[in-house]
Amino acid sequence: MEQKAGYEKPDQEKEFVKEITPRSVDFSQWYIDVVLKAKMMDYAPIKGFMAIRPSGYALWEKIQEQMDRRFKETGHQNAYFPLFIPHELLEKEAEHVEGFSPEVAWVTKGGDEILSEPLVVRPTSEAIICDFYSRWVQSWRDLPVLINQWCNVVRWEKSTRPFLRTSEFLWQEGHTCHRTEEEAEEEALKMLEVYRECIETELAIPAVVGRKTEREKFAGALRTYTVEALMSDGRGLQAGTSHNLGQHFAKVFDITFLDKDDQLKHVWQTSWGVSTRLIGALIMVHGDDRGLIIPPRLATFQAVIVPILTKKDRKRVLESVQELADQLQGNIRVKLDDREEYSPGWKFNDWEMRGVPLRIEIGPKDLDRGQVVLVRRDSGEKFFVPREELPTLLPGLLDQIQDDMLKKALEFREANTRSGSDYAEFKQIMEEKRGFYMASWCGDAACEEKVKDDTKATIRCILFDQQPADENCLVCDKKAKEVVYFARAY
Amino acid sequence: MEQKAGYEKPDQEKEFVKEITPRSVDFSQWYIDVVLKAKMMDYAPIKGFMAIRPSGYALWEKIQEQMDRRFKETGHQNAYFPLFIPHELLEKEAEHVEGFSPEVAWVTKGGDEILSEPLVVRPTSEAIICDFYSRWVQSWRDLPVLINQWCNVVRWEKSTRPFLRTSEFLWQEGHTCHRTEEEAEEEALKMLEVYRECIETELAIPAVVGRKTEREKFAGALRTYTVEALMSDGRGLQAGTSHNLGQHFAKVFDITFLDKDDQLKHVWQTSWGVSTRLIGALIMVHGDDRGLIIPPRLATFQAVIVPILTKKDRKRVLESVQELADQLQGNIRVKLDDREEYSPGWKFNDWEMRGVPLRIEIGPKDLDRGQVVLVRRDSGEKFFVPREELPTLLPGLLDQIQDDMLKKALEFREANTRSGSDYAEFKQIMEEKRGFYMASWCGDAACEEKVKDDTKATIRCILFDQQPADENCLVCDKKAKEVVYFARAY
């Protein structure tokens, strides 16, 4: 979206890209080609904004369904808070306002009325939610508060990229209040694990978890935990974060409760979120030069049936594929593409580009032989399979594809996770190969800054409970405190 | 929300209402008492805005689930369009801009940048969606476009009431494009019927369908169809609308397609929506002086188990109710309220107020007798039931409650639907009894206006395919063209 300035009618030539640029030629262009050609999104007539088209939104619905189920299983309820935040509320927490003020959209007029105090469109909802919580929480009986909201947020971004960074995006934000510090810490780590497990199980993306540095943590948090994934171009991507907010917000918003011991205390809070950015991660981890590859568990259609029609056998083939579609419906999510205005070859390319995990081809000869042709999107493998075996074979095969996709992504990540203690070597790797680089760090922000200046890489996360193998910091050679992952990131 | 001016910290005394005002004393206050006390919502620190609390939002999730299933069964897909609309897009359709301009919120600054063209926060999305459709639709092969979006919208309202009219609300908006006028008309009527059936089946609210007058139709539509319900105070409420947009938007936004005959044509469009307003309808149709009554099909918890604990029998009663809860889990959505910090009496009142359809009480004596006490929220009836019969009895009983609630609402509506041709009598009824009033109308906007001035009632809908029984207009006595429902409405 970087190329657009102000409002401008998108150029149709540019937009309906005819070919997909190979990843090896230009990964960024490959990504744009795929999201446009697979009709995942389209640019809005406002710089930095986009529409999520049905094939992109269907992925978001599946991600929501899987995440939401896990949130509810861990005792959370959904709610909805106002889109607008009075500026004075945002200003209450000093770090928070400093972090978000530069990127908010301002509402200054409502109807015919010029607002006496401008409103900001939520960039995140801590401030407005804490205002409500200060009234809802009175007693220890009201705790814990375990609330999540699915909504849109706006952050005025200068440089944007579909799904990964846009001025408006969809997300969920959990906001919880607890009696004790321990409970809040436990919650923050529990939701981090929910994210990691869901992203691995459903999106087939292996994820590293850890803590953010002071420089990279959420504005207003005590500690930020993060789920980090590696894209297939070797760049890192933050896939979800969970914050222990401590009592920072509780103190400025006056969220207090009468505890069992009759003392008035401030609550301990967390917040955590994942966004439509996960769609971008999914594309960049699994996609190839033919387009998307969707993991079976998230696919709207897990298999597409494409009949090969000839004039002579048209009717019997169509009847037969309809019968097969009906038969498979209970077992898997199947789509019959019996459109006659498109050729089988066109359909093969189109469904491959859209990433449907399995293709089932049936022509007159297959019908005579009682077989189908089965093509795996992830590996490209092609099998002849007896038709009657499909209902029992397909669910297992889809599980296999899901496993294989995770395994492949994991192998890629392992092959692209390096470690060492030679700064010159590190710089060269960040420049040439990228990937994750595990190293020891002294904990000093100056070293972190130097790495960023030298290589554009940042500390993605501080690993949990790990003693530095190397005693000295990768950068300054002073005594190391932490083990961290560096990467150039989205 | 009318009482608040500007930003003001809500008064806790006012907010945590201790008692529910009887409906006969003050229906409006009863409504406010119920939504606050049942923790359905809370006022935001911005006039006219609110938070939807978990018990209110859970209803919205159930409504969404039921509506969304029906949308998908009728071939629609979900998508997401930008929150902001360039003002010049909103201005394109003359009636549309006139209808919505006075009530939009304006974004004039993004980050540090003063916007050269201000953006409006969507009050509805026809303008921005049509801009996308003008690029997405090229050929008859791209039709029909059957897209829906679940989102928030903002309309700067002067006078607001929780769920019924707020400056921000949640809704869905379907936006479709068709090859022919007939297809668009069929779609508009199909979705009207989806709404009517869903509202009747799931919300247990009987609904009248019909067409809006020119005065009441959607700004920019060719024809607006509506689902109208009657609240228990005798006032009408528009529960959903479906618009045939004709080619109004297609022409100004240039949405054209190459038809099978190689002619370039404008598409025919519809849009249709229901909102969180339905939660208000649900409360006002079914609620009573003890609080909410939720229809079983929408209830988060269809039954609540309240153990009656004594010191002596505490342990065996708690074990027994846990066992019962586990046993019923597969059959119905059941909640065990085993909190010991609240008394059974307090819990009875609280769950009644929250409208849970069934209460199951179990004390030591019930345990000894192998029975439970079952209390219906809708009728207040109390039964002793052998415990082993519960798993088979409850699903049927919940269906019965759902049916009885619809029947009761239908009887109320029938008793409060009057008809006639005497204008003086009509005026008196609108003043004293309210309800729906069926009458003949000449079709002249002047008569419609006069009714509004005289009685505050409006034409809720023009009935389909009905010839005026009375030959003359209720108001002017000239020849009647239509049969309409009048009511004072929310």
Q: What is the pLDDT of residues A386-410, one digit of tens each?
A: 999 999 999 999 999 999 999 999 9
Calpha distance B88→A331 (Å, rounded): 49
Average pLDDT over residues A193-210: 98
Report CA B484 to chain centroid distance, whole Å: 22
DSSP string, B282-303: HHHHH-BTTB----GGG-S-SE
Render pLDDT for B59-107 as a digit per residue (tens, 0 to 9). 999 999 999 999 999 999 999 999 999 999 998 988 888 888 889 999 9
Contacts of B346 in chain A (CB under 8 A): none
| The pLDDT of residue A464 is above 60 | yes
Nearest to A78 among B12, B49, B54 (CB): B54
Residue A93: predicted pLDDT:
85
Kindly identify which residue of chain A lies nearest to residue B341, measuring between CA atoms.
Answer: A141
pLDDT at A1: 38
Split at pLDDT 50, 70, 90, the class of B14 is: very low
The pair phi, psi for residue A246, each rounded to 5°, is 60, -140
Q: Is A250 helix (H, G, I), strand (E, B) or coil?
A: helix
Kindly determine whether residue A46 and residue B82, on different chains, have CB atoms separated by under 8 Å. yes
Q: Where residue B18 falls among pLDDT bands split at 50, 70, 90?
A: low
Q: Percent of chain A, pLDDT > 90?
A: 90
Average pLDDT over every residue of B135-160: 96
Beta-bridge mates of residue B121: B84
DSSP state string for A357-403 = SEEEEE-HHHHHHTEEEEEETTT--EEEEEGGGHHHHHHHHHHHHHH
C-beta atoms of A135 and B54 within 8 A: no
Closest chain A residue to B76 measured between Cα atoms?
A54
**Signed CA dihedral, A74, A79, A80, A85: sign only:** negative
Residue B391 reports pLDDT greater than 80: yes
Predicted pLDDT at B102: 87
Q: What is the mean pLDDT of residues B113-125?
A: 95
Residues 6+ apart with CB under 8 A from B389: none
pLDDT value, residue A341: 84
CB-CB under 8 Å, A7 with B117: yes
B317's tokens: 């009663």
pLDDT recorded at residue B49:
97
pLDDT tens readout for residues B189-200: 999 999 999 999
Average pLDDT over residues A2-28: 59
Q: Which of A80, A117, A118 sits opposite B170 (nearest CB)?
A: A80
| CB distance B35 to B41 below 8 Å | yes
Question: How much is the pLDDT for B98?
Answer: 87
β-pairing, A256-258 with A236-246?
unpaired
Other C-beta atoms lying within 10 Å of the C-beta of residue B73? 9
Instruction: Confirm or reject contact between B19 and chain A (CB < 8 A).
Output: no
pLDDT of residue B13: 35
Please name the residue of chain B whose CA is at the shortest distance from the CA of residue A89: B45
* pLDDT higher than threshold 90 for residue A289: yes
pLDDT tens digits, residue range A425-435?
A: 999 999 999 99
Buried b (16+ CB within 10 A) or exposed e, B86-105: bbebbbbbeebbebbbebbb
Residue the block writes with tokens 């387009």: A291
Q: Contact B106/B118 with Cβ under 8 angstroms? A: yes
What are the chain B neighbours of A15 within 8 Å (beta carbons)? 135
Interface test with A, best of B107, B160, B279 (most A CBs within 10 A): B107
pLDDT confidence of residue A175:
98
In this predicted model, what pLDDT tens digit does every residue of A55-81 receive, in sequence order? 999 999 999 999 999 999 999 999 999
- Please give, rounded to a whole number of angstroms, the shortest distance from the CA of A298 to a CA of chain B: 16
**Residue A470, helix vs strand vs coil:** coil
Give the pair of three-digit tokens for residue B277: 């307003």
At B341 the pLDDT is 84
How many angstroms separate the CA of residue B366 from the nearest CA in chain A? Answer: 29
pLDDT class for A212, splitting at 50, 70, 90?
A: very high
**pTM of the entire structure?**
0.94
Percentages helix, strand, coil for chain B, rounded to the nearest 5? Answer: 40, 30, 35
pLDDT above 90 covers a percentage of chain B that reads 90
Residue predicted with more confidence, A382 or A9: A382
pLDDT tens per residue, range A307-358:
999 999 999 999 999 999 999 998 999 999 999 888 999 999 999 999 999 9
Q: What is the pLDDT of residue A18?
A: 56
C-alpha span between B208 and B192 (Å, rounded) = 11
Contacting residues of B for A110, CB less than 8 Å apart = 105-106, 156, 167
User: Cβ–Cβ contacts within 10 Å for residue A14, how many?
Assistant: 11
User: Could you give the CA distance from residue A272 to residue A255 in angstroms, rounded to a whole number?
Assistant: 19
CB contact under 8 A, B108 and A108: yes
Q: For position B465, what pLDDT does the model report?
A: 85
Q: How far is B41 from chain A (nearest CA, A)?
A: 9
Q: What pLDDT, in 10s, does the model give residues B154-173?
A: 999 989 999 999 999 999 99
Q: Is B6 on the interface with A (CB under 8 A)?
A: yes
Least confident of A185-189, A234-238, A465-469: A465-469
Q: What pLDDT is stored for residue B472 in this prediction?
A: 94
Q: Which residues contact A72 (CB under 8 A, 6 or more apart)?
A: none
By Cβ distance, the residue of B15, B54, B80 closest to A147 is B54
pLDDT reading at B16 higher than 70: no
pLDDT above 60: residue A171: yes
Q: What is the mean pLDDT of residues A92-116?
A: 90
**Distance separating alpha carbons of residues A239 and A231, to the nearest angstrom:** 11
Q: Give which of B17, B50, B84, B335 to mutate to test A binding, by max A Cβ within 10 Å.
A: B84
Q: In sequence order, which ranges of B44-168 are alpha helices (DSSP H)?
A: 54-73, 87-90, 94-100, 126-136
**Which chain B residues are closer than 8 Å to A148 by Cβ?**
none
DSSP string, A185-236: HHHHHHHHHHHHHHHHHTT----EEEE--TTTS-TT-SEEEEEEEE-TTS-E
Measured CA to CA in angstroms, residue A287 lies from A233, A266, A408 at distances of 11, 47, 12
Q: Do residues B10 and B21 make contact, with C-beta atoms less than 8 angstroms apart?
A: no
Mutate to test the interface with A, among B59, B77, B83 (most CBs of A within 10 A): B83
Beta strands in A111-207 (DSSP E): 113-121, 145-154, 168-178
What's the confidence (pLDDT) of residue B15?
36
Residue B6 confidence (pLDDT) above 60: no
B290 pLDDT above the threshold of 50: yes
- Tell which B residues from 438 to 457 touch A, by Cβ distance under 8 Å: none
Residue whose C-alpha is closest to residue A203's, from A391, A355, A38: A355
Q: Give the pLDDT score at A4.
A: 36
Quote ipTM for the complex: 0.94
Query: What is chain B's Cα-based Rg?
Result: 25
Cβ pairs A/B, distance under 8 A: 165
Q: Which has the higher per-residue pLDDT, B342 or B32?
A: B32
The answer, yes or no, to whether residue B30 has pLDDT greater than 60, is yes
Instruction: Tell which of A46, A61, A101 to mutate to test the B interface (max B CBs under 10 Å).
Output: A46
Indicate the residue of B58, B105, B121 with minimum beta-carbon distance to A77. Answer: B58
pLDDT exceeds cutoff 50 at B7: no
pLDDT surpasses 80 at A484: yes
* Confidence at residue A122, expressed as pLDDT on a 0 to 100 scale: 97
Lowest mean pLDDT among A459-468, B64-73, B239-248: A459-468
CA atoms within 13 Å, Cβ hemisphere of A101: 15
Give the span between the Cα atoms of B333 and B336, in whole angstroms: 10
User: What pLDDT score was predicted for residue A467?
Assistant: 84
What pLDDT, on the 0 to 100 scale, is given for residue A5?
37
CA Rg, chain A, in Å?
A: 25
Largest CA distance in chain B: 86
b or e along A376-398 (b: 16 or more beta carbons within 10 Å of the residue's beta carbon)?
bbbeeeeeebebeebeeebeebb
- Which of 3.40.50.800, 1.10.3720.10, 3.90.226.10, 3.30.230.70 would CATH assign to domain A301-397? 3.40.50.800
Across the range A194-212, mean pLDDT stands at: 98
Contacts of B158 in chain A (CB under 8 A): 111
- Record the tokens describing residue A132, joined without a space: 């409500």
Residues 6+ apart with CB under 8 A from B69: none
Q: How far apart are CA A458 and CA B460, in angstroms?
A: 61
Task: Measure Cα distances from B189 to A388, B216, B268, B473 in Å.
Answer: 42, 18, 14, 27
Angle between the N-to-C axes of helices B277-286 and B27-37, in degrees from 0 to 180, rounded to the nearest 10: 110
Q: If DSSP codes are grouped into helix, strand and coil, which group holds residue B252?
A: helix
**With an 8 Å Cβ cutoff, are B102 and A116 in contact?**
no
Closest-CA distance of chain B to residue A338, Å = 14
Which amino acid belongs to residue B43? Answer: Y
> What sign results for the dihedral spanned by CA atoms B394, B400, B403, B407?
negative
Separation CA B448–CA B455 (nearest Å):
11
Model confidence band, residue B8 (pLDDT cutoffs 50, 70, 90): very low
* A residues 90-149 closer than 8 Å to B (CB): 102-113, 116-119, 121, 128, 131-132, 135-136, 141, 147
Structure tokens that stand for B9 in this block: 């910290």
Q: CB distance B45–A89 less than 8 Å?
A: yes
Q: Confidence class of residue A465 from pLDDT cuts 50, 70 and 90?
A: confident
Distance of alpha carbon B452 from alpha carbon B441, whole angstroms: 14
In the 3-class helix/strand/coil scheme, how is B383-449 assigned residue by residue?
Answer: EEEEHHHHHHHHHHHHHHHHHHHHHHHHHHHHHCEEECCCHHHHHHHHHHCCCEEEEEECCCHHHHH
The answer to whether B354 and B291 have CB atoms below 8 angstroms apart is yes
Residue B467, pLDDT > 70, answer yes
Inter-chain CB proximity B110 and A42 less than 8 Å? no
Cα separation, A385 vs B360, in Å, equals 55
Amino acid at B458: T
Query: What are the residue ranges spanned by the domains of chain A?
Result: 12-286, 301-397, 417-487
Residue B282 neighbours by CB under 8 Å, 6+ apart: B59, B203, B205, B294, B295, B298
- Mutation for testing the B interface, residue in A80, A129, A136, A275 having most B CBs under 10 Å: A80
What is chain B's mean pLDDT, rounded? 94
What digits encode the pLDDT tens for the residues A120-152?
999 999 999 999 999 999 999 999 999 999 999
Give the A window 261-280 contacts with B, CB below 8 Å: none
Interface check B58 vs A, CB under 8 A? yes
pLDDT of residue A94: 83
Q: Give me B25's structure tokens.
A: 């004393």
Cβ contact, residue pair B168, A82, below 8 Å: yes
Q: Which of B45, B50, B113 sits opposite A86 (nearest CB)?
A: B45
- For position A82, what pLDDT does the model report? 98
pLDDT value of residue A471: 85
Q: What DSSP assignment string belongs to A84-104?
A: EEEHHHHTTSHHHHHHHGGG-
Q: Are A174 and A147 in contact (CB under 8 A)?
A: yes
Q: Which fold has domain A12-286?
A: BirA Bifunctional Protein; domain 2 (3.30.930)
Burial letters B265-280, b for 16+ CB under 10 A, else e:
bbbbbbbbbbbbbbbb
What gap in Å lies between CA A305 and CA A322, rounded to an integer? 9
Residue with the larger pLDDT of the pair B439 and A19:
B439
Look over chain A and give the mean of its residue pLDDT values, rounded to a whole number. Answer: 94
CB contact under 8 A, B104 and A111: yes
> Which stretch of DSSP H or E encloses residue A57?
helix A54-73
Report the top-level CATH class of B417-487: alpha beta
Q: Which two tokens stand for residue A467?
A: 């003693």
| CB interface of A with B, residues 288-317, below 8 Å | none
What is the per-residue pLDDT for A141? 93
pLDDT confidence of residue A469: 77
Confidence class of residue A381 from pLDDT cuts 50, 70 and 90? Answer: very high
Task: Please tell me whether residue A259 adopts helix, strand or coil conformation.
Answer: coil
